[in-house]
Structures are given as structure tokens and as C-alpha cells.
A and B are shown apart, each in its own frame.
Chain A
């Protein structure tokens, strides 16, 4: 590699002057523009994360109150209350209060009273179900025989325990990985090490094309065909379950895992294999004992990215998992994932309400999980590169 200017001996310059040729303002402009464009992608993602987190913030900080029973005042009190009291009681902004006439205000007080009558006044009704304690720990609600993890957001007492959803997401993703990783990895080893160049030319784009299948089509296929087929073979009870959803998810992540693993295997220098072959090993031995160990960080990264895809996928699990929020580690029970919950429930939530903010909290959690997953994967790919260049 010819020596270029490095950080220490680079002369100060402006608009390309330091590169040792004539100033080209247009090039400089283009360079800055591209920099801006590439930065903006990062900025947009950061802003999305900020938005999601901001919407979930009242719950994260425990400032949201979802307790069903609030103090009510009889209608006769209306004439005794000052405008400030009425505003505070009905949670009205001054502008809203100014717009409403006496009749509307009275009507609103009436609605409060009606709402109070519908809710049974027991211990549950006073509980703020959006507090972290109720989001993560089991709790014995009235009507239940023992403490349980319950996700029942549409209820007189909304119950927002996240554990069933987290377990559901993990179950489906783990099945997807168990199914997809051996297949994708096998294909990657074959394509990168053993296949003839002509076959490789067909196989690689073929598998990668699978990534283009819309997930709704895979979900539909799983719902109508695969679910019945698998139930017929294995004879389990719930037709739609974590197993079916996981297999369909697996089909969706095979191309991702394959593509990255194949890249990792191919980027192992040719000299490694040639050396092994020259020493008399077979092609298979070279692939298994030399290339694969060298590429392990890259392969691991492929698996982690596949996991990120699986846990974030929505349409397939929405259609094929049965969406029952059960706490059970059995793969043959129906399961409800975090993503499917957001998709199914977002449409009817009241903007700013506690259910709405809960769904954003789930969104923020998903973002965090996939973000950390990608970081870990990236770090491993980096390590692979260093290792192959002999710098580790």
C-alpha cells in the first residue's frame, strides 16, 4: 500500500488544497453534501427513538396514573365551585373551559358520575396499573386465584404486565433461530467454500431473493397452509402457536443470516484455504477446521442480526402465533409477541392515554433490544476483521 498523508503530516488546507492538487469547490461542496445526507439518516433514527421514548416517558418515570376510581363530586356542587375548581376537577385547559357553556360542563360532570358507577369499587380500582411493579411482577387481581402476569389492556381495570409479551417474543424468535441458523449457515458454508463457481452464481442470489418476499405473504401462508400441515404431522392442540410462527419467521430470516454469514466466510483470505489444501487437507476439512473458526465472529454477528430481525418482525407473528398472552415456556402454546401487540392495539388507543403510552413503551423496549443486538453484532464483525488482518 503506497503511503498517503496521515494525521500527523497532513498540511493544513481548505477546499481540497491540502490534497496537493487544485482547489475544486464543486467537489468540496459535493463532499459536504454527501456527508450531510449520510449524517441525516443517523439523525432521523435518533429522532424516531427520541419520539418513541418521549411518548413512553410518563410511564418510564412512573408519572402516569391509570387508577380507575377518582374522586367525584355531585352535580349540585357545580354552582358552589369556582371556575378554577371546575377546570381542575374536569382537567380542562383554560381555553377549553372558555369554549364550553354551562350545559356542556354539567354534562361532563354527569359523565364522570356515570363512569364511577360502572367501576366496582374494590382494591384493584385504586391501583395505578402502569407502575413498574405491575408491569413486571405478578399480582393477584380480584377474580384470580393466585398472583399472575396478565396483559389485559381493555378491561375496567387495565392490566399491563409485560412478561407474557416478552416471553412470547423470545419464544417465537428462538424457534426462528433454531430453524433458520442451521439451514442458513449450512447454505453459507456450501456456497462460499464447496460449491462450484457456476452453482454459486445461481445459489447466492437465489437465497438472497427470498428476502424480498413480503412478510404478509409468509404470514398468510403460515396461517392457511403451514399451521394445518404441521398440526397434522405433530398433532398438537393449538393450531396457531409459537412453533408455527417461529418456523415462518425462520423463513423470513434465513436470507439475512445466510447473506452475512456468507460474507464473513468469503472474507476469510483465500490463502488460509490454499495453505490447508497444499498441506493435504480436503476441501471439506479446510472449510470446517480453518475457514469456519476464522469466521466465527462474523457468523455470530449474522445470528445476532437474525435475532434482531426475528424479534422485530410483526406481520408473520400477528397472523400465525394465535396472539394469546399466556405465560408458558411451551412452544406449542399460542403466544403473543410485543410487535403483534402494538400492531393489533394501536389503532384504537386514545392519543396520550395510558394504553397508548404502554404501546410506546413496548416500542422503545424493542428498539433498545434490536439496537443493542446490532451493536453487539457490529462489534463482533469488527473483531473478525481485525483477527483476519492479524492485528488481534
Chain B
């Protein structure tokens, strides 16, 4: 996959140098969570539309949105909603609020070590764990051992989503170790018997996924496509594409339309994220 990505980047890079390839070039930048997805979309779309060149790079949601503000990318992938400050900068730089497209669903999984007897947690328990109010597995019915927290570094969209929707804006406990990517979180949790971590749905081999309860009295929900798409799994989010409305026409508009079509959403499913329900595609 990495090689394919590199190849496409290289091809697109070379083609930008060639004057005859000016037509139909779309640049995409942003979320690392979405980069595999974005690259697959580009691959499939280009094979069907040979005239179009799509150049995909990652870097993080904030990087993509920064590029959008500076008008150095056409599409910005983001695993979180755009911030007020970023909208302000867009207004300053090109006078318009960027158009927001929901393009896929993602469930945030809670990982623990495979030997951990805990099977389910409520949102409130999660909040207390990650803010450092609950420090021992014993308090949750597990072994008498300290809870080791694994988080993402604070430039990550996933970090911000978790902070906003699970911690309800409170700070992560200072003792949370920060890992440079969801794969690193999974690797750390797989090696640590008393660990707990979180991350997007595309990851998670070698660790146990917990079922999550909305509150104490509701049933525990396993994370899978059905529960994420129908919204019963409590920690899910949208993945977004943002675009400057001034260039949302022609090739760019056609590409976004295709991403939200059945064909594009099939790719979402193949990669391991969850397709957008029909009724949301018009939004």
C-alpha cells in the first residue's frame, strides 16, 4: 500500500511537470487515519477516469486543513470537524466558509490486553479512566494493578475527538503515554497486560476490543459495522472532506460526488471503515 501511495505521488508529481497534463488534477491532503482510504479512492477513480490525476498526501487533519487555508490543496481530509479558528482563516484568505462533506463513518475502538478479564465499560467509566480519576483495574472489577493509559499525541484528530466526546472536554490524565499513531497504540497495548488505549476502526489485531455502554443502564454494544452505521455504538464519528466552494466544480465536484456514491462507499467498506448511510449522502 505504501508503495502504491508513493507511486501515485511520484506519478502525480511527474505529471505536474508535464505541461499537457494540466487538465483534471486534484490534490488531496490531510488526516493520517484517512490516508489509506483516500489513496484507494484515488486509485479506483483514476482507473475509471484515465484523464484525471489525483495526488494524495497525509500529514494529519490539521495539516490538510492548514493547506486548505493556504489554498495549497483542493481537498482537505479531516477526521475531526473543522475548528472556528480554521474557518476564520479560510474566510480571511478566500472569503468563504469551506464546504463540509461527510464521506465515511468511523468507530473509535477501545483496546485492552487480550488477557484482561474486563469485557465492557460505560462512557462514564472511560471518562474517569482517561482523566485519571480511576487508577486501578480493581475499581472496575479487574485485577489489582495500575491502569496504564495509552493516548495519541495531541496533534491527532482522533485525540481531539476522544477528548471532546468521551472526556467531554476534560484533560487527559498527565500519566497518559502518547503514541505516534494508532498502530503504535495497538502495539503498546498488545505488550502491556494492564494497558488501555483507543483508536480508529481500521486497526486492532492482537488486542481485545471492549463493548461500550452509553450509560450504566444501557446494554453494552460491540463495535461492528451494523452498530456503528445505525449509531447504537456510542463512540463513532464522521470522516470529512473540506473544500473551497470556489473550486467545488468540474473535476473536483465529480470526484467528491463519486466518493459519496455507492461505488465510492464500497471502497470505504473494503478498507475497514464504515460506509455513509444513504440518507446522509445528500448532506
Q: Enumerate chain A residues within 8 angstroms of B172, measured Cβ to Cβ.
A: 152
A318 to B180, CA, bound (A): 9
Are A104 and B91 in contact (CB-based, < 8 A)? Answer: yes
Are A326 and B92 in contact (CB-based, < 8 A)? Answer: no
Are A348 and B88 in contact (CB-based, < 8 A)? Answer: no
Q: Enumerate chain B residues within 8 angstroms of A239, measured Cβ to Cβ.
A: 188, 191-192
Instruction: Kindly supply a per-residue 1/0 record for chain B positions 59-79, scoring 1 wherever the CB is within 8 Å of any chain A CB and 0 otherwise.
Output: 110110010000000000000
Partner-binding segment picked from B16-24, B148-156, B232-240 = B148-156
Instruction: Kindly supply a per-residue 1/0 record for chain A positions 34-66, scoring 1 wherever the CB is within 8 Å of any chain B CB and 0 otherwise.
Output: 000000000000000000000000000000000
User: Nearest Cβ distance between residue A219 and chain B, in whole angstroms?
Assistant: 11
Are A345 and B177 in contact (CB-based, < 8 A)? Answer: no
Are A99 and B95 in contact (CB-based, < 8 A)? Answer: yes
Contact flag A164-B178 (CB < 8 Å), given A107-B91, A345-B155: no
**CB contact between A154 and one of B63, B160, B177 (< 8 Å): that residue:** B160
Offer 28 A-B interface pairs, CB within 8 angstroms, sorted by A. A104-B91, A107-B91, A108-B92, A111-B87, A111-B91, A111-B97, A112-B84, A114-B84, A120-B169, A143-B171, A152-B171, A152-B172, A156-B169, A237-B148, A239-B188, A240-B188, A323-B177, A323-B178, A324-B174, A324-B177, A326-B174, A334-B177, A344-B180, A345-B153, A347-B60, A347-B63, A350-B89, A353-B85
B146 within 8 A of A: yes
Q: Interface extent on A, as a size class?
A: 35 or more
A79 within 8 A of B: no
B175 within 8 A of A: yes
Tell me the A residues contacting B by CB distance below 8 Å: 92, 96, 99-101, 103-104, 107-108, 111-112, 114-115, 118, 120, 141, 143, 148, 150-156, 159, 164, 228, 237-240, 318-319, 322-327, 333-334, 336, 344-345, 347-348, 350, 353
Tally B residues with Cβ within 8 Å of A. Answer: 40
Q: A103-B95, A324-B174 are in contact. List 10 more A-B contacts (CB 8 A).
A: A111-B84, A120-B169, A155-B163, A323-B179, A324-B177, A325-B174, A344-B178, A345-B153, A345-B155, A348-B66
Q: Enumerate chain B residues within 8 angstroms of A318, measured Cβ to Cβ.
A: 180
A326 to B96, CA, bound (A): 42
Are B155 and A104 in contact (CB-based, < 8 A)? Answer: no
When A and B form their complex, which 10 residue pairs have the shortest distance between CB atoms, in order from nearest? A348-B62, A115-B84, A348-B155, A322-B177, A154-B154, A104-B95, A323-B178, A152-B171, A344-B153, A326-B174
A326 to B171, CA, bound (A): 13
User: Nearest Cβ distance between residue B194 and chain A, in whole angstroms?
Assistant: 8
User: Most chain-A Cβ atoms within 10 A of its Cβ — which of B60, B154, B155?
Assistant: B154
B170 within 8 A of A: yes
User: Nearest Cβ distance between residue B281 and chain A, in whole angstroms?
Assistant: 25
Are B176 and A324 in contact (CB-based, < 8 A)? Answer: yes
